[in-house]
């Protein structure tokens, strides 16, 4: 074929490109309308084959066409092409001499240039028969590529290469080593993609239970048994018709998601992001309700038209997104289990040494298996015998045995109809201190847990559409159970950096109830409403079924009902308020129950996501435990006035004065400090904290004398063991001070964890802030850590003073920080904005809770709104759930006293208005 220019596009290629573009547009429309993944792959294969054959015919010289052939490989060769996947091809030559010919170079250049018109990515390799052995030796992936070959054009057959590749993979052990390598790759992918970001936004190709796991099953079946997993079966090795159909269904579903992602982004991508999850739900909704709207939009601009952006609309979609992702994770888990089970069975490498008989089963290496001459039908007793043996020896279950157990369990009655003996044996496995770590997951995967406790089923693969709950609820529950078991066993690493919680757990006497609470604390989720209360009600049925006595059932129900109490109270309430502590202590009743609930809270917080249990949260929980234990052991005695209290405080401060490096001894007037501050504050503050407050107070008074005006003093103390830095600002008691300091800190790029305001009798305030550095937009949210860089601390000090002395304007500082942000934040799940009054949270103050997206300037806007409505903020507690800030403010009228109902409404409205004007990050 002659061309006016070597790279000029012939008319036939132009027509082929136009036809391909039109065909792909039609296919894109089918993707939008919900066509299945395998259907789309078949259509993409057909139009791509036709297009490539024309390009091949036009690009090659007549002589080269007799010596070369074109083959599809990779996903294209396997008929698994997604919309923007690379088009992988192999150009096979029959002679090495062609490698030096200009004809070949020109043909390849034409193919690559002409394929750019329809904006496809054509990827090619050139190989001769002589190069195949060398390529196989250099890269094991070459053999996989060769067995995926599918001929497209040209006379040269590569059947010999496929046979060579298959022989290479099968080696001298019929492919068992190759299958073992595939299994090791699967394990590595699970470890690599089991990190948080991949759990929240899974990789549908390489993530656990993704496309690559299905590919491994296909490659293993072809190499080990010479069958096509999509079209053939082999019952004797476990590849039944049922398995084949499931394989096709899962392949169809994953390809469907990949096609949608490619279309949404206009390129190859396999990360199912939060924004994509919401768009997929919106498209499903439109297909059902208004399909005509989808038919009028350019399918390749679908994201531009229908990606949810309205805050309320995104919140409305949350339940559907959770349902979508639950279905995805359910399928991904099934794929991962099938991949592991098949690859383990097909590798079938015999461990050294003979099998050891253990009752009805054999222990071969680290695998419990059925004897070869044993039938696959198991009784319930045999099921639990196998599970107990596997736990005792920390062994795997042979895939054949796993299948037999699944078949047996499928015949058991559900729930209350279960055999008491089976339920009791399940409880024993779940709660034994010696149960191996993988046993609980095995009980779930094989259906035993949900068969006996069907109430657990709604938790399986249950997703919460936020960045806080990293794991599905069932995975979190199992992690919580295993951490509880480690804590009871005194495992050195169980309590991390906080051995205090191991000490608390050592006092637990009812290990069964504690471990069941760890497993079932979230069982009320995915049912709507208050999951703690619903879970407690469910325990009243589940407990007796598992063989607990009445007292144990009551205790278990109480732990489930109260499992959030300590976590939420420690992070969101003023722990110096005796009313808060007394109310919880009354509900708990005794120290034994406090120990149970504290250990449960620690395990729950430690396993909900990485870094949720950090130094700051651990400190708060330990402080609440100390106060509750004191209340339970001393009762009302601790509230009685103790004339020795202030004397002890004075003695402690005198011992610490020598550490106040910036306060000369002659400047310190301890009597003035003790008389000026509220007695309640002095009695409840930590001695070290009081010493730091004394330093700030003294320096401010010294500034008053030196400048003859009421000055500002700032004391900073990094507290790395608590993950925070404490800032104490001593200044004149002026309305709006809290808001200005909060704005100054936000503009300096630090996160405020808590703020307390102590007003003195002389008209000054001590504004006490706990700050930390972390990124709330990170996935996962990073762990708070103390700000300790001297230059940064100096900058923070200067900024606070300049703002309070009106040399800098807070609004301008915050706007400057907004303007400096160059990167558009990644889409994350939308969280609602809600402002409410928390009834009965304090006897002295009105408590206002604000829930809103965590963003720059949030605390400043809230505290400024409080100031502008004329109320005084005394305490604030700053909490977060991933990207959601949950801030609580203890406020009173300027003249003292709680807010009236009318004033509460006014203040709530003012905060809502202020937040509506706050720009998004």
Which residue's structure tokens are 């095995």?
Answer: 442
Q: Look at residues 404, 413, 428, 465 and name the one whose alpha carbon lies nearest to residue 272.
A: 465
Q: Which helix (H) or strand (E) holds 328?
A: helix 311-347
Query: In this structure, which long-range contacts are made by residues 889-895, counting pairs with CB atoms below 8 Å and at least 24 apart in sequence?
Result: 889/847, 889/848, 889/849, 889/850, 889/862, 889/863, 890/574, 890/842, 890/844, 890/845, 890/846, 890/847, 891/845, 891/846, 891/847, 891/848, 891/866, 892/844, 892/845, 892/846, 894/735, 894/870
DSSP state of 351: P
For 681-706, what is the mean pLDDT?
Answer: 81
Average pLDDT over residues 523-543: 95
User: In whole numbers, what is the pLDDT of the chain averaged over residues?
Assistant: 89
Query: What is the dotted CATH code of the domain comprising 641-771+784-810?
Result: 3.30.70.260
* Chain position carrying tokens 């004897």: 371
Q: How far apart are CA 562 and CA 517, in angstroms?
A: 11
For residue 682, the SS3 value is: helix
d(C-alpha 651, C-alpha 626), whole Å: 22
Dig out the tokens for 759 from the structure: 């007003």
In 3D space, the residue among 741, 777, 769 whose CA is nearest the CA of residue 855 turns out to be 777
Q: What is the pLDDT of residues 592-623, one digit of tens each?
A: 999 999 999 999 999 988 878 988 899 999 99
CATH number of 823-921: 3.30.70.260
- pLDDT, position 845: 93
Nearest residue to 150 (alpha-carbon basis) of 76, 206, 218, 46: 76
Would you list the DSSP string of 414-435? Answer: PGGGS-HHHHHHHHHHHH-TT-
Instruction: Parse the chain into domains and list their residue ranges.
Output: 11-170, 180-347, 473-636, 641-771+784-810, 823-921
Q: Does residue 755 come out as left (phi exceeding 0), alpha (psi in the -120 to 50 range) or beta?
A: beta
The 10s digit of each residue's pLDDT in 58-103 is 999 999 999 999 999 999 999 999 999 999 999 999 888 888 888 8
Closest CA relative to residue 272, chosen from 211, 178, 205: 205
Q: Which 3 state secondary structure label does DSSP give 789? A: coil
Identify the pLDDT of residue 470. Answer: 83
Interatomic CA distance for residues 629 and 593, integer angstroms? 10
Q: What average pLDDT does range 171-175 have in this prediction?
A: 91
Q: For residue 645, what pLDDT is reported?
A: 65
The CATH H-level superfamily of 11-170 is Beta Polymerase, domain 2 (3.30.460.10)
Question: Given pLDDT bands bounded at 50, 70 and 90, which one contains residue 355?
Answer: confident
As a whole number of angstroms, the distance between CA 829 and CA 200 comes to 10
Would 641-771+784-810 and 823-921 be classified into the same CATH topology?
Answer: yes
The topology (CATH level 3) of 473-636 is Hypothetical protein af1432 (1.10.3210)
How many angstroms separate the CA atoms of 681 and 424, rounded?
53
> Which letter, b or e, does each residue of 461-480 get, where b requires 16 or more Cβ atoms within 10 Å of its Cβ?
bbbbbbbbbbbbbbbbbbbb
Residue with tokens 């080269």: 64
What are the tens digits of pLDDT across the range 425-473? 999 999 999 999 899 999 999 999 999 999 999 999 998 887 778 889 9
CA 893 to chain centre: 42
Cβ atoms < 10 Å from Cβ of 837: 17
**Got the DSSP string for 203-223?**
BTTTSTTSHHHHHHHHHHHHH
Q: In CATH, what is the architecture of 180-347?
A: Up-down Bundle (1.20)
Q: Provide, for the chain, the percentages of residues in helix, strand and coil under a 3-state DSSP scheme, each rounded to the nearest 5.
A: 55, 10, 30
The distance of Cα 656 from the centroid of its chain, to the nearest Å, equals 44
For 263-291, what is each residue's pLDDT tens digit?
A: 999 999 999 998 899 999 999 999 998 88
Q: Is the Cβ–Cβ distance between 800 and 745 less than 8 Å?
A: yes
């Amino acid at each position: 074929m002659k061309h006016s220019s070597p790279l000029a596009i012939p008319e036939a290629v132009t027509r082929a490109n136009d036809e391909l573009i039109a065909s792909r547009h039609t296919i894109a429309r089918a993707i939008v309308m919900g066509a299945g993944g395998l259907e789309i792959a078949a259509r993409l294969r057909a139009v791509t084959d036709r297009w490539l054959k024309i390009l091949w015919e036009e690009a090659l010289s007549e002589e080269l066409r007799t010596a070369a052939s074109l083959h599809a490989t990779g996903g294209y060769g396997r008929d698994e092409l997604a919309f923007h996947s690379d088009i992988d091809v192999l150009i096979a030559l029959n002679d090495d001499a062609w490698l030096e010919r200009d004809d070949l170079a020109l043909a390849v250049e034409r193919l690559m240039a002409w394929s750019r018109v329809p904006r496809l990515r054509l990827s090619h390799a050139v190989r001769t028969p002589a190069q195949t052995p060398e390529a196989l030796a250099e890269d094991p992936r070459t053999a996989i590529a060769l067995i995926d070959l599918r001929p497209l054009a040209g006379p040269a057959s590569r059947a010999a290469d496929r046979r060579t590749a298959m022989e290479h993979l099968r080696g001298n052990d019929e492919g068992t080593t190759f299958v073992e390598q595939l299994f090791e790759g699967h394990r590595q992918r699970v470890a690599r993609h089991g990190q948080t970001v991949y759990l929240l936004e899974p990789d549908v190709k390489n993530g656990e239970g993704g496309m690559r796991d299905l590919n491994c099953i296909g490659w293993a079946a072809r190499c080990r048994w010479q069958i096509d997993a999509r079209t053939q079966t082999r019952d004797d090795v476990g590849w039944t018709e049922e398995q084949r159909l499931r394989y096709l269904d899962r392949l169809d579903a994953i390809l469907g998601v990949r096609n949608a992602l490619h279309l949404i982004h206009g390129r190859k991508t396999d990360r199912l992001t939060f924004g994509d999850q919401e768009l997929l739900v919106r498209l499903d909704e439109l297909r059902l309700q208004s399909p005509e709207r989808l038919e009028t939009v350019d399918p390749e601009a679908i994201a531009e038209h229908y990606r949810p952006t309205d805050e309320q609309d995104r919140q409305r979609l949350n339940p559907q997104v959770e349902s979508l992702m639950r279905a995805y994770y359910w399928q991904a888990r099934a794929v991962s289990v099938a991949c592991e089970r098949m690859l383990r069975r097909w590798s079938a490498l015999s461990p050294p040494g003979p099998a050891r008989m253990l009752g009805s089963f054999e222990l071969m290496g680290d695998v419990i298996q059925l004897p070869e001459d044993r039938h696959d039908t198991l009784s319930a007793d045999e099921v639990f015998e196998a599970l107990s043996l596997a736990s005792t020896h920390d062994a795997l279950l042979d895939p054949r045995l796993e299948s037999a157990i699944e078949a047996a369990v499928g015949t058991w009655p559900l729930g209350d109809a279960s055999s008491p003996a089976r339920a009791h044996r399940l409880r024993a496995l779940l709660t034994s201190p010696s149960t191996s770590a993988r046993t609980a997951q095995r009980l779930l995967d094989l259906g035993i847990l949900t068969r006996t406790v069907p109430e657990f089923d709604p938790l399986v693969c249950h997703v919460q559409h936020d960045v806080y709950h990293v794991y599905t609820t069932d995975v979190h529950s199992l992690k919580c159970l295993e951490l509880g078991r480690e804590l009871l066993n005194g495992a050195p690493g169980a309590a991390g950096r906080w051995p205090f919680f191991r000490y608390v757990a050592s006092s637990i006497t009812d290990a069964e109830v504690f471990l069941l609470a760890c497993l079932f604390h979230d069982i009320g989720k995915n049912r709507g409403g208050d999951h703690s209360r619903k879970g407690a009600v469910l325990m009243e049925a589940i407990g007796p079924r598992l063989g607990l006595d009445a007292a144990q059932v009551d205790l278990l129900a109480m732990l489930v009902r109260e499992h959030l109490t300590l976590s939420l109270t420690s992070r969101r309430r003023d722990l110096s308020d005796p009313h808060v502590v007394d109310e919880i202590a009354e509900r708990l009743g005794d120290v034994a129950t406090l120990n149970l609930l504290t250990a449960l809270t620690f395990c729950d917080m430690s396993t909900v996501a990485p870094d949720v249990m950090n130094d700051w949260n651990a400190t708060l929980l330990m402080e609440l435990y100390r106060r509750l234990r004191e209340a339970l052991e001393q009762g009302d005695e601790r509230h009685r006035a103790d004339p020795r209290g202030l004397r002890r405080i004075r003695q402690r401060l005198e011992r610490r004065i020598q550490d106040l490096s910036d306060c000369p001894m002659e400047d310190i007037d301890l009597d003035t400090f003790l008389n000026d501050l509220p007695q309640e504050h002095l009695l409840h503050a930590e001695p070290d904290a009081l010493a730091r407050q004394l330093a700030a107070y003294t320096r401010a008074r010294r500034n008053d004398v030196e400048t003859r005006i009421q000055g500002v003093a700032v004391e900073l103390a990094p507290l790395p063991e608590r993950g925070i830095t404490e800032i104490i600002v001593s200044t004149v008691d002026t309305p709006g001070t809290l808001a200005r300091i909060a704005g100054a800190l936000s503009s300096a790029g630090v996160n405020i964890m808590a703020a307390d305001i102590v007003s003195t009798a002389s008209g000054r305030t001590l504004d006490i802030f706990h700050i930390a550095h972390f990124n709330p937009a990170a996935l996962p949210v990073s762990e708070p850590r103390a700000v300790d860089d001297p230059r940064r601390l100096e900058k923070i000090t200067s900024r606070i003073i300049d703002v309070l002395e009106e040399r800098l304007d807070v609004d301008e500082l915050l706007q400057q920080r907004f303007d400096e942000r160059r990167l558009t934040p990644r889409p994350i799940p939308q969280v609602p904005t809600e402002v409410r009054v928390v009834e009965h949270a304090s006897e002295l103050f009105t408590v206002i809770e604000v829930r809103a997206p965590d963003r720059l300037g949030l605390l400043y806007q809230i505290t400024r709104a409080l100031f502008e409505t004329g109320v005084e903020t005394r305490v604030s507690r700053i909490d977060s759930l991933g990207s959601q800030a949950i801030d609580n403010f203890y406020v009173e009228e300027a003249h003292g006293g709680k807010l009236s109902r009318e004033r509460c409404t006014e203040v709530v409205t003012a905060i809502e208005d202020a937040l509506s004007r706050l720009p998004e990050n």
